[in-house]
Structure 1
């Protein structure tokens, strides 16, 4: 523990708080200005109030953070100090213009008033933009500190929450950051009795499919209930350890019940239903099947959490709330967008999707899980495909990571089994491909999968294609069932690349396992080459570097993540590296 860095971080927090208070006080002097300026000043006060509370907590836990966390936190706080100092100068300049500026404007009529309004509005808009951008960079490091079991963090949170507004309904990071932090801290290691409360009784639902995704939207079949939910199914294999799966699903649902979707890129979980194997109903696009009741379970023992040691289950269904303000927006899988939308989709939109996806992956790891299924089928996009920003409301768009059918706790045992399907293996690290993966799954494998997805987004080419069913039944449904994956253009281009490079097509005297391993590593080489040669002209050098860093995160010469011999990511080193090298670089892309 370096006392110098502790003192430096505390001093930074104190200076930051003092500077922020001065900026807000200056803005308050304009509350009597035009109504639009007044509204912006209120936003500044709200955003700063959140930042001040979090800075107070950081000051209180500085001595308990490791040196690397303090360094990164200090760098981020220094960035905000710079922005606030610049804001002070801007506000002072605008104030001076108003009082001593050009008398021919400020002394007479509407022209003077209009000029003053424009200057004030632009100055406050700049402060809001800088605060919000900074907050996006600060939050990942902030929430990562919640893993530390030291009660000093609980004391700091409790002390800071005294002055925080009490949330009505589900707390959000924008309005109640300390309430969200305290809630997440309470469920990062939930007790068994806490996980039982997320299991819900059965109820019939109406279903709608989400094209090219295993997830569906569902609505309870009861009067006056028009709410729709996203339902994510986790299948239970015949030889699976039901007790372990039920425990992990309960923990996952408990953690996701405390998420703020827009802040974390992960949908908020209402609960989970366990479907007994003998009662499994066939799934379909519509109709009634066993599903969930969204009312709290009654104390009746028949509605309590299922006991995996007493019954067998065919699947678990995670029920997610649709974010507030997005209930009427269309929802599509990213795969659907890649297959059907215009290839000329804006650079701004692609960067936005990339940022949101990387953010969601970071928070999956913050919650101590590995996803194991990061691909466009698991990514949901609400709203206009051409929208350039995240948010809620008409005309906006947001991206969320779901598809938790292969997840597991980061510190849990893993089943060393796989498959050879192109549609999944193209997103898997070579050491995780095939029927018998060579390495236990860890967080860096998710980072590799993210790199493949970011490459796909940057090129805006679907690496997986599907058949189209033309035959229909009397009910109008596709007679051949849902579309099936097929080997498409990316696979064909990879095969051409293999032939041209005269590698990967021979077994070199080895067995089938050797050939599959060589094939897997050649696929990685191909993706790396695509990132190096094709990505920068489309997305810029910084984006291309991010993708290459993800794709090579387990390579020995990767300087960002330390390669295959890097420390166990459970110690937070990989998470900090991801925040600094991936999230930060994506945030700094200016479009």
Structure 2
């Protein structure tokens, strides 16, 4: 479809969605007095619709400023919403009002019917929001003044997600500004945190408390080997500012409350101070869980996979690459007596802005290289780090979670590969790149052989898509048929990730 024709079609569909949404809210308002439960459900619908309406209105105004890849993605999302919301309104009009509220139908039966269908409407709207939100936050990547003007609109600022988007864009602009030190420091006094932190096993991260209260925080360290102190501090500051505005339970990232700067005779280390959401405790890495819990239900494994996939998306939404995704950098908290509650991606050891100068310095630790793309292995990697390299690391982790077997087995201080992962020769290969491709081949073969029977074909396809995200072949779902995926704003690869990984894994039902 031509851009002009698409714009007209989408604007028309947006107007229809807003019209149907307003009718739905009006209908809900009229039914609130029937019963308390119905009133509560109606309020939920009104709340979700308020957020949706703001997003749709902003989308309509920004349409001409959006990248073509985003326009195509949003067009599909809007069409999905139209089908859901028009079906809800038309269904109530044709069935509920005409038949179910006939005088011969008892009032109690009418209320039961109404409650059931209103609950379905809430679910449909919330499901749509969950699918739409990741791509909504991709707007932060657009270098377009019109986006800022739209988000400054008082009507848009009534929506928490629009406010969060506005704040994240502000943080991004601060990080790109030469005057960013004037916006307030994220660095806090060492005296704010207690001096006896508790180390989280298998990590260089700690649990601690504020000196003035009992509230616990997670301290996550950075290393940045081979990087100048000024560049390290700049990257840490910029990421901390962005992580101030995350919704932890939605993003799969902990909210940053500040940074500690520790000086030693040899180096300077930074520690992010992460807020631990209320009700969560006893964090463990996925590596620890893999070794401590020999069995794990399929539903919990899929839950972990979904949360991690969202975490990676939102790191990239902020304009950063993580560079260290592996089971040691994913923590899972206990909640309500359950030892496997929400999980969060931490371990921002080498994080930097996606467009910033990369470090080609690596290491020879096979247990880290296992999660790196072959071209990023060895002491000196051959390619600059991109978002796709994080996506490859995600694929290895998703494979490990699905199999629920630790690929790295620890015996004292020695680390050996899982016996079924036959990479002994590859990790001893003198040519790190060649050994890396041998490992990638083994991981791909393992996924094809084991995953379909364990987690199904759809999960398997997601893992293979991640492992093959930089392959030069027609099976690569990230290949834009000759279009360079390293676009200036990082939009194209983000859209492809949402469509081929995030949304597909969100659709998995167990």
User: Any residues of structure 2 matched to 1:436-451 within 5 Å, and which?
Assistant: 436-451=380-395
Determine the structure 2 residue equivalent to 1:228: 216
Q: TM-score w.r.t. structure 2 length?
A: 0.91
- 2:172 equivalent to 1:188: yes
Q: For the Cα contact (< 8 Å) 1:5–1:67, is it kept in 2? A: no
Q: Which moved more, 1:442-451 or 1:77-86?
A: 77-86
User: Any residues of structure 2 matched to 1:49-448 within 5 Å, and which?
Assistant: 49-92=50-93, 93-100=95-102, 103=104, 106=106, 113=108, 115-159=109-153, 161-162=154-155, 164-165=157-158, 176-190=160-174, 191=177, 192-193=180-181, 196-203=184-191, 204-205=193-194, 206-222=196-212, 225-235=213-223, 237=225, 240-278=227-265, 313-323=267-277, 325-326=278-279, 328-343=280-295, 345-384=296-335, 397-448=341-392
Q: For the Cα contact (< 8 Å) 1:195–1:250, is it kept in 2? A: no
Q: For the Cα contact (< 8 Å) 1:9–1:62, is it kept in 2? A: no
Q: For the Cα contact (< 8 Å) 1:218–1:231, is it kept in 2? A: yes
Distance, in Å, in 1 between the alignment partners of 2:492 and 2:448 is: 27
Determine the structure 2 residue equivalent to 1:486: 415
CA offsets, 1:392-433, max 9 Å, x none? xxx993221111012111112222222222221111111111
Distance, in Å, in 2 between the alignment partners of 1:348 and 1:465 is: 24
Shift of 1:543: 1.0
- SS of 1:221's equivalent in the other structure is coil
Q: For the Cα contact (< 8 Å) 2:209–2:215, is it kept in 1? A: yes
Q: Which moved more, 1:192-201 or 1:550-559?
A: 192-201
- 2:502 equivalent to 1:583: yes
Q: For the Cα contact (< 8 Å) 2:156–2:162, is it kept in 1? A: no
- SS of 1:397's equivalent in the other structure is coil
Q: For the Cα contact (< 8 Å) 1:443–1:569, is it kept in 2? A: no
Distance, in Å, in 1 between the alignment partners of 2:404 and 2:90 is: 42
CA offsets, 1:117-168, max 9 Å, x none? 4322221221111111111111121111222232221222223x33754xxx
Q: For the Cα contact (< 8 Å) 1:416–1:440, is it kept in 2? A: yes
Distance, in Å, in 2 between the alignment partners of 1:505 and 1:189 is: 42
Distance, in Å, in 1 between the alignment partners of 2:299 and 2:27 is: 33
Distance, in Å, in 1 between the alignment partners of 2:85 and 2:239 is: 39
Change (3 A) 1:375 1:194: farther
Shift of 1:362: 1.2
Distance, in Å, in 2 between the alignment partners of 1:378 and 1:465 is: 17
Shift of 1:522: 0.9
Change (3 A) 1:236 1:149: closer
Q: Which moved more, 1:349-358 or 1:440-449?
A: 349-358
Q: Give the number of the structure whose alpha-carbon radius of gyration is greater.
A: 1
CA offsets, 1:248-284, max 9 Å, x none? 1111111111111122211111111111224xxxxxx
Change (3 A) 1:410 1:195: farther
Distance, in Å, in 2 between the alignment partners of 1:527 and 1:71 is: 33
Q: For the Cα contact (< 8 Å) 2:17–2:86, is it kept in 1? A: no
Match of 1:561 among 462, 478, 482: 478
Q: For the Cα contact (< 8 Å) 2:256–2:273, is it kept in 1? A: yes
- SS of 2:217's equivalent in the other structure is strand
Change (3 A) 1:506 1:319: closer
Q: For the Cα contact (< 8 Å) 1:464–1:485, is it kept in 2? A: no
- 2:474 equivalent to 1:545: no
Determine the structure 1 residue equivalent to 2:445: 529
Distance, in Å, in 2 between the alignment partners of 1:54 and 1:563 is: 27
Q: TM-score w.r.t. structure 1 length?
A: 0.79
Distance, in Å, in 2 between the alignment partners of 1:365 and 1:352 is: 21
Q: For the Cα contact (< 8 Å) 1:236–1:313, is it kept in 2? A: no
- SS of 2:502's equivalent in the other structure is helix
- SS of 2:31's equivalent in the other structure is coil
Structure 1, unmatched stretches of 5+, are: 107-111, 166-174, 279-311, 388-394, 469-483, 499-503
Q: For the Cα contact (< 8 Å) 2:407–2:421, is it kept in 1? A: no
Determine the structure 2 residue equivalent to 1:291: none
Q: For the Cα contact (< 8 Å) 2:309–2:502, is it kept in 1? A: yes
Q: For the Cα contact (< 8 Å) 1:555–1:564, is it kept in 2? A: no
Distance, in Å, in 2 between the alignment partners of 1:386 and 1:530 is: 34
Distance, in Å, in 1 between the alignment partners of 2:231 and 2:122 is: 46
Distance, in Å, in 2 between the alignment partners of 1:134 and 1:352 is: 18
Aligned residues: 499
Shift of 1:549: 0.6
CA offsets, 1:519-550, max 9 Å, x none? 21111001001111111111111111111010
Q: For the Cα contact (< 8 Å) 2:217–2:275, is it kept in 1? A: yes
Runs of 4+ more than 4 Å apart: 384-387, 504-507, 563-566
Determine the structure 2 residue equivalent to 1:306: none
